Amino acid sequence: MPTDWDRQQSPEMSSTDASHPATNLPPETVDLLALSLVPGLGPRLTSVLLERFGSAAAVRRLSAEQLMQVPHIGERLAQRFVAALRDLPLKRELALTAEHRVRLLIRGDAEYPAALAELPDAPPLLYCRGTVPPLPAVAIVGSRQCSAYGRRIAQQIAAGLTRAGFAIVSGMALGIDGAAHEGALQAGGKTIAVLAGGLSSIYPPQHLELSRSIEQSGCLLSETPMSLPPQAGMFPARNRIISGLSRAVVVIEAGERSGALITAAHAIEQGRGVFVVPGPVDSPFSAGSLRLLRDGARLVRHADDILEDLAGLPSPGNRLGETEAPPNPQPDSARSVETAGAPTPSPVPPNLDGDERRVWDALGEGALPVDELVRRLGLPVAKLQGLLMSLELKRCVRRLPGNFLERY
């Protein structure tokens, strides 16, 4: 169904127009912005096109016949892309970014969050209001219809992590998200709100004042065109950015169908830690949280629990900037000769049930793709995915690019 921004009819702006004083943007940034406005052209396909043809400018010049040479792009899709590229609301989009003080962050730029850039489905372009904090980050997410207990704990944990030097990431929704942002701000810290819709209007409108405070002490981020309102299908995609920005995700009061569970699932796939604050067993606000705990997520009571566990979690690269140093680095000379050879076999983790132990054993010879695990174990795909989620939460296995699994 056409959206408001789809209906806007503006002449195409070419790369040579990018030097116009009204835009003050490099040509490649303008070309990437143009690609981001093409309906159906997601981050993975955009990355494939950029890798294959070299630049966003080259992609904009492609014919339907050239696009059809790319795997998974058929004639109908190619024709649709070419038609969209001829008729983009690019000038209007640039005007909106200027009007709302929005900057465009390109994957590979110095300010583009490093933790997010390492993901295969990272947005090629982010809209940003404010400044991305150069700090490691933790996400706090949970129910919109939260209890007073949930709000209080979210604020306390956010404040504690802030005082320890972390930025707080959340989705600026009502309930737990808003409380997490508020806790960080009240503690004088930095916070990042990731929105599902465009930055020309704030959603939910009840958080307009909060968004202004966040912009002053951190930033608002989105991968969505400026005037596109949030729609149901955008929130799961937004949640991968929340987890991707963070070293870990803290879930507080998630119901059985809470979007926070999607954020937790993204975190597991991305190799981030998942922490859960327990709640009453008879509360519908806690049903999803308790399920995560049952499946092996780490139970936490306060910020100190999280900080203690974060010290033992892997932190490949810096998360949001270049200020985080590796803990206790040792020179090569300090390594024992005995540890320089082949790794010793991993000990069997405790508390594995029968099927979990079968998955663990199957990965004993090295990483395997999911389809090979299905073939070897003879398990239904849905059951295997449930087992893998449980094992990832228990930090027994981890997911690699290409949907491979290996032991920790």
Query: For position 327, what pLDDT does the model report?
Result: 37
Rounded Cα gap, residues 55 and 252, in angstroms: 42
**90 and 144 co-located in one domain:** no
Q: Which of 22, 188, 194 is nearest to 105 (CA)?
A: 194
- Would you say residue 188 lies in a domain? yes
- Would you say residue 334 lies in a domain? no
**What is the CATH number for 11?**
1.10.150.20
- Would you say residue 185 lies in a domain? yes
The pLDDT tens digits for 330-378 are: 333 333 323 333 344 567 887 788 888 899 889 888 888 887 888 889 8
The pLDDT of 53-78, averaged and rounded, is: 91
**152 and 295 co-located in one domain:** yes
- Would you say residue 30 lies in a domain? yes
Listed residues 292, 310, 328: the one ending a domain: 310
Cβ density class 147-179: b for 16+ within 10 Å, e for less: bebbbebbbbbbbbbbeeebbbbbbbbebbbbb
The pLDDT tens digits for 255-313 are: 888 899 999 999 988 889 999 999 988 888 889 999 999 888 899 999 999 998 887 66
pLDDT band at residue 55, thresholds of 50, 70 and 90?
very high
**93 and 120 co-located in one domain:** no
Q: Which of 401, 395, 393, 407 is nearest to 344 (CA)?
A: 407
Rounded Cα gap, residues 146 and 286, in angstroms: 10
- Would you say residue 332 lies in a domain? no
Query: For position 365, what pLDDT does the model report?
Result: 80
**376 and 249 co-located in one domain:** no
**119 and 48 co-located in one domain:** no
**274 and 388 co-located in one domain:** no
Rounded Cα gap, residues 181 and 140, in angstroms: 9
- Would you say residue 223 lies in a domain? yes
**Which positions ≥6 away from 346 have C-beta within 8 Å?**
407, 408
- Which tokens sit at 267? 């975190």
Query: In this model, does residue 116 exceed pLDDT 90?
Result: yes
Query: In this model, does residue 125 exceed pLDDT 90?
Result: yes
Domain of residue 86, residue span: 4-99
Query: For position 10, what pLDDT does the model report?
Result: 34
**251 and 181 co-located in one domain:** yes
**138 and 282 co-located in one domain:** yes
**86 and 141 co-located in one domain:** no
- Would you say residue 331 lies in a domain? no
**Average pLDDT score, the chain:** 83
Q: Give the residues across from 277 on adjacent strands.
A: 252
Q: For strand 125-130 and strand 103-106, is the pairing parallel, antiparallel, or unpaired?
A: antiparallel
C-beta separation of 320 from 132 below 8 A: yes
- Would you say residue 16 lies in a domain? yes
Query: In this model, does residue 238 exceed pLDDT 60?
Result: yes
pTM of the model: 0.75
Listed residues 288, 310, 332: the one ending a domain: 310
C-beta separation of 44 from 89 below 8 A: no
Listed residues 263, 293, 310: the one ending a domain: 310
Rounded Cα gap, residues 109 and 61, in angstroms: 24
**What is the CATH number for 382?**
1.10.10.10
**What is the CATH number for 217?**
3.40.50.450
- Which tokens sit at 230? 């949030």
Q: Which of 98, 88, 89 is nearest to 21 (CA)?
A: 98
Q: For strand 368-369 and strand 404-407, is the pairing parallel, antiparallel, or unpaired?
A: antiparallel
The three-point CA angle 311-312-316 to 5° equals 90
The pLDDT tens digits for 140-166 are: 999 998 999 999 999 999 999 999 999
How many separate domains does the chain show? Answer: 3
* Percentage of the chain lying above the pLDDT 70 cut: 85
**166 and 130 co-located in one domain:** yes
**121 and 164 co-located in one domain:** yes
**87 and 120 co-located in one domain:** no
